[in-house]
Amino acid sequence: MHEIPHSDSEMLRLLALGDEQAFQTLFERYWDAVYSTSLVLTKSAAIAEDIAQDVFTILWEKRATLPEVSRLEGYLFITARNLIYSRLRKLASGDAYRQYVLQFLHEGGAQQADHAAEFRELEQCVLTAIRQLPPQQQRAFTLSRFEGMRHEEIATTMGVSRITIKSYIVQAIASLRKALSNHPSGAMGALWAMIFFS
């Protein structure tokens, strides 16, 4: 195994090649700063946690372009700021969206049967995608989303740090988004709400 260099630029070069250890190193280096900045701007620990997770999901998803980034800290700050502004604009419609999801899951008649079949098909796609994740990511994601365990509990169970668990879950979400991005189902919004935002 190679030793991960300490400079951001070299780490970004390795990350662009898909190096998960480089991602984890950057994650551990900048998570607190991204979360703290988000907390200051949103005044909400829950939203700040979501924003930080999204920032690192984007970092992983856009890893191929990262060697062009000259200053990673600034890149992460701008990404967080943009996500926060977008989130704040959408907050007003958040309750409406959740009501839509609940209505989707409880509506009656033939439409419900059609949606239920569609939802089961999509659920199988999600489970298949989860089974294709690397073992550690798969276990962390499953314990978080399906067992309802907190990050601290998962870290204890898996014998790793809390921030490592966060890193695993971020990478898992990025992989699942990519795997399911082209699914035509109209049930996708409901599934995202149940799995990714629970």
pLDDT, tens only, 101-116: 455 445 544 454 555 5
Reported residue count of the chain is 198
The per-residue pLDDT for 24 is 92
What is the rounded CA–CA span in Å between residue 165 and residue 168?
Answer: 5
Q: Can you tell me the mean pLDDT for 152-177? A: 90
pLDDT, tens only, 108-146: 444 545 555 655 676 677 778 888 999 999 999 888 877
In degrees, rounded to 5, the angle at the alpha carbon of residue 63 between the alpha carbons of residues 184 and 173 is 45
Whole-structure pTM value = 0.57
From 96, 141, 129, 125, select the one nearest 184 (Cα to Cα). 125
| Contact yes or no for 148/195 (Cβ under 8 A) | no
For the cut 80, the answer to whether the pLDDT of residue 72 exceeds it is yes
Q: Name the percent of the chain lying above pLDDT 90.
A: 31
Domains and CATH numbers, the chain: 1-92 (1.10.1740.10), 107-198 (1.10.10.10)
Q: Can you tell me the mean pLDDT for 150-168? A: 91
The per-residue pLDDT for 3 is 54
pLDDT, tens only, 20-30: 999 999 999 99
Where b means 16+ CB within 10 Å and e means fewer, 25-60 reads bbbeebbeebbebbbebbeeeebbbbbbbbbbbbbb
Q: Name the percent of the chain lying above pLDDT 70.
A: 71
pLDDT, tens only, 35-65: 988 888 777 888 889 899 999 999 999 999 9
